[in-house]
């Protein structure tokens, strides 16, 4: 459905004005001034949620899906307006993907054992109230995806979002509560505070009401959550390499890699962050990217200017550069390029700061290696042990297998763009919380449940 541009801008302005952060967001469901009040509201809501039938939970989820489709453009524009990161077109696609491919109650399966001594069921029940910490890179996408999975499991959720994405998060949280009320469910299935801080996060983590904390973000937050003394699901940072060997279809590899790298201006944690190419095809690959895939070849001088602009002397990222387009980044270093330039490329050693750092910008350095073995070692080094995501373009099954084993990542895409792992052009569920560090991988409703054994001794086996 085509959306009227002026109308959407008006809605975004109206919503942002309504949520003037100095005042209370008027009339928004699930939004509290204090974290204690937010947790209490989610606790009460969970008492109702736990008694809803699976059908009733599924009805709420269906309405969240519908509202996410209807509001995809508004949410995308709000995310870009508020954080300054990413691009509206790709963020719209991400919201449709969340609505279509995030698993609901069907993800929760019961195991049964039956025999001479009776019947035993292992059922997956709710944790109760979950605490969730969300990133500024996919703010509403993560809130919506987490909420669908968490309520499918019978939980309610308290969010402590990134402060840079508060308004977008509040809009999404209000929307899921409206969906629940429309379905006849409780209010406050998801809650948050008007002004999230590290203090509100600490209150949430220490609350006796909360038994599971799900953190999506960089290494700092995952470490904090895993030190909380509670069960944590840690979806941390990545730095995914794309390895290309001499057996690959080089034109397709160039297209897939640049498409994946530039999706939402490189914000997804799974997106290609650097290339490792074997020497015999490296020139051809670079040439393809420059000639046919809208890449700008950065000279040594431009690389140095980019380093000085996108990070400080200690290698910390300049937040004003994260999630910006290639054109915007080049403009920051004094270079004007046409609109069809979508990625900045160059060749360098693996230690180059623009290659070894997880930039979340469409800057793609290529490391040249003499053969596959050297490329494999470089890719392992570049992934920094995150074990998050890695990609490969090769027709050699033995090499793909060796790569998969050596990388040991939660996601490995072969001969496709990274976003195939999220269900775009690939067979997969969608999630924006990829728990590489704690091992759940692509999280879904079942990740947010706990196993409960229910035993009927000596009865109900009718075999
Ligand atoms: P970030 O780490 O700066 O912030 C993420 C969240 O953690 C925010 O809500 C922030 O307020 C909170 N936070 C940070 N430090 C904290 C602490 N010490 N205690 C409590 N809360 C804390 O990350 P970001 O810039 O918002 O997002 C980008 C990072 O997240 C990248 O490293 C990216 O790879 C990663 N990421 C991972 C996944 C995944 O599924 N694995 C998904 C998206 C983003």
For residue 94, is it within any domain?
yes
According to DSSP, the residues that pair with 366 across neighbouring strands are: 275, 347
CATH code of the domain containing 168: 3.40.605.10
The answer to whether the CB of 172 falls within 8 A of the CB of 144 is yes
Judge if the beta carbon of residue 134 lies within 6 A of ligand 1: yes
Whether residue 21 lies inside any domain: the answer is: yes
Please answer whether residues 317 and 336 qualify as being in contact, where contact means their C-beta atoms are separated by less than 8 angstroms.
Answer: no
The domain in which residue 232 lies consists of 5-236+442-453
Q: Is residue 298 part of a domain?
A: yes
**410-436 per-position pLDDT tens digit:** 999 999 999 999 998 888 899 999 999
Residue 378: helix, strand or coil by DSSP? helix
Q: Is the pLDDT of residue 319 over 50?
A: yes
Round the average pLDDT of the chain to a whole number and report it. Answer: 95
Same domain? For 292 and 154 the reply is no
| Å from CA of 216 to ligand 1 middle | 5
pLDDT tens string 41-72: 999 999 999 999 999 999 999 999 999 999 99
Cα–Cα distance for residue pair 314/289, rounded to 1 Å: 31
Is residue 117 in some structural domain? Answer: yes
d(CA 367, CA 350): 6
**pLDDT at residue 92 tops 70:** yes
- Look at 143-152, 282-291, 336-345, 418-427 and tell me which has the smallest mean pLDDT: 418-427
329 with 402, same domain: the answer is: yes
Query: Pocket of ligand 1, candidates 134, 217, 225: which has the most ligand atoms within 8 Å of its Cβ, to mutate?
Result: 217
459 within some domain: no
H-helix segments, 153-228: 166-182, 198-206, 219-226
d(CA 352, CA 367): 9
Residue 416 lies in a domain: yes
Residue 460 lies in a domain: no
The average pLDDT across 99-119 equals 96
244, pLDDT greater than 90: yes
Coil, helix or strand at residue 244: strand
The verdict on 301 and 223 lying in the same domain is: no
Q: What percent of the chain has pLDDT over 70?
A: 96
Same domain as 410, residue 370:
yes
HSE (side-chain half, CA atoms, 13 Å) at 190: 33
Do 257 and 129 reside in the same domain of the chain? no
Residue 16 pLDDT:
67
- Site of tokens 């990134």: 162
Q: What is the mean pLDDT of residues 32-41?
A: 98
Is the domain of 231 the same as that of 245? no
Is the same domain home to 251 and 391? yes
What is the model's pTM? 0.95
Output the CA 150–ligand 1 centroid distance in Å.
19
The mean pLDDT value for 442-446 works out to 98
* Residue bearing tokens 């002026």: 6
Residues 65 and 16 in one domain: yes
Average pLDDT over residues 281-298: 98
For ligand 1, the distance from its centroid to the CA atom of residue 135, given in whole angstroms, is 5
What is the model's pLDDT at position 19?
A: 64
Query: What does the alpha-carbon distance between residue 229 and residue 241 come to, in Å, rounded to a whole number?
Result: 33
What is the 137 CA–ligand 1 centroid distance (Å)? 8
Same domain, 160 and 277: no
Ligand 1 centre distance from Cα of residue 350 (Å): 25
Residues 190 and 225 in one domain: yes
Residue 23 scores a pLDDT above 50: no
For ligand 1, is residue 219 a contact (CB within 6 Å)?
no
Would you say residue 20 has pLDDT above 70? no
Q: Indicate if 222 and 319 belong to the same structural domain.
A: no
Above 80 in pLDDT, residue 202?
yes
Residue 297 Cα to ligand 1 midpoint, Å, equals 31
Q: How many domains does the chain have?
A: 2
pLDDT in tens, 384-398: 999 999 999 999 999
Return the residue whose CA atom lies nearest to atom 22 of ligand 1: 221
Q: What are residue 356's phi and psi, to 5 degrees?
A: -80, -15
Give the tens place of pLDDT for each residue, 333-391. 999 999 999 999 999 999 999 999 999 999 999 999 999 999 999 999 999 999 999 99
Indicate if 167 and 253 belong to the same structural domain: no
Q: What per-residue string of b and e applies to 231-270 under the rule 16 or more CB within 10 Å gives b?
A: bbbbbbbbbbbbbbbbbbebeebbbbbbbbbbbbbbbbbb
Q: Is the CB of 137 under 6 A from ligand 1?
A: yes
Residue 36 CB-density burial (10 A; 0-12 exposed, 13-18 middle, 19+ buried): middle
Q: Is 358 in the pocket of ligand 1 (CB under 6 A)?
A: yes
CATH of the domain at 316: 3.40.309.10
């Amino acid at each position: 459905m085509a959306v009227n541009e002026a109308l959407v801008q008006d809605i975004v302005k109206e919503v942002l004005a309504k949520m003037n952060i100095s005042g209370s967001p008027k009339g928004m469901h699930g939004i509290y001034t204090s974290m204690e009040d937010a947790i209490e509201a989610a606790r009460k809501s969970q008492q109702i949620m736990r008694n809803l039938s699976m059908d009733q939970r599924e009805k709420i989820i269906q309405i969240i899906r519908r509202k996410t489709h209807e509001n995809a453009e508004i949410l995308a524009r709000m995310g870009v307006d508020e954080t300054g990161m990413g691009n509206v077109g790709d963020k719209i696609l991400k919201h449709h993907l969340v609505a279509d491919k995030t698993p609901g109650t069907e993800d929760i399966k019961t195991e049964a054992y039956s025999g001479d001594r009776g019947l035993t069921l292992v059922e997956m029940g709710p944790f109760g109230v979950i605490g969730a910490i969300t990133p500024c890179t996919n703010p509403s996408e993560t809130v919506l995806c987490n909420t669908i999975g968490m309520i499918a499991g019978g939980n309610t959720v308290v969010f402590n979002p990134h402060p840079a994405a508060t308004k977008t998060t509040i809009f999404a949280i209000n929307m899921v509560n409206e969906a629940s009320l429309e379905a006849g469910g409780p209010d406050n299935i998801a809650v948050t505070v008007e002004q999230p801080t590290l203090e509100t996060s600490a209150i949430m983590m220490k609350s006796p009401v909360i038994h599971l904390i799900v953190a999506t973000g960089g290494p700092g937050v995952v470490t904090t959550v895993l030190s909380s003394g509670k069960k944590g699901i840690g979806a941390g940072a990545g730095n995914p390499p794309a390895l290309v060997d001499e057996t690959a279809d080089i034109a397709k590899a160039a297209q897939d890699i640049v498409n994946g790298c530039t999706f939402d201006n490189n914000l997804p944690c799974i997106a290609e962050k650097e290339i490792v190419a074997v020497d015999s095809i490296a020139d051809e690959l670079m040439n393809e990217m420059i000639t046919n895939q809208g890449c700008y070849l950065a000279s040594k001088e431009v690389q140095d200017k980019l380093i000085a602009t996108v990070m400080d002397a200690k290698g910390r990222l300049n937040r004003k550069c994260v999630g910006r387009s290639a054109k915007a980044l080049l403009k920051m270093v004094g270079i004007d390029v046409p609109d069809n330039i979508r990625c900045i490329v160059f060749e360098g050693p693996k230690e180059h700061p623009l290659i070894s750092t997880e930039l979340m910008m469409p800057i793609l350095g290529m490391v040249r290696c003499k053969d596959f073995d050297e490329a494999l070692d470089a890719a392992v080094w570049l992934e920094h042990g995150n074990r998050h995501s890695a990609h490969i373009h090769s027709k050699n099954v033995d090499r793909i297998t060796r790569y998969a084993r050596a990388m040991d990542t939660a996601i490995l895409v072969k001969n496709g763009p990274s976003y195939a792992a999220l269900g775009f052009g690939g067979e997969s569920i969608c999630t924006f919380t990829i728990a590489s560090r704690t091992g759940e991988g692509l999280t879904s409703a079942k990740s947010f449940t706990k196993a409960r054994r229910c035993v009927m001794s000596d009865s109900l086996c009718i075999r």
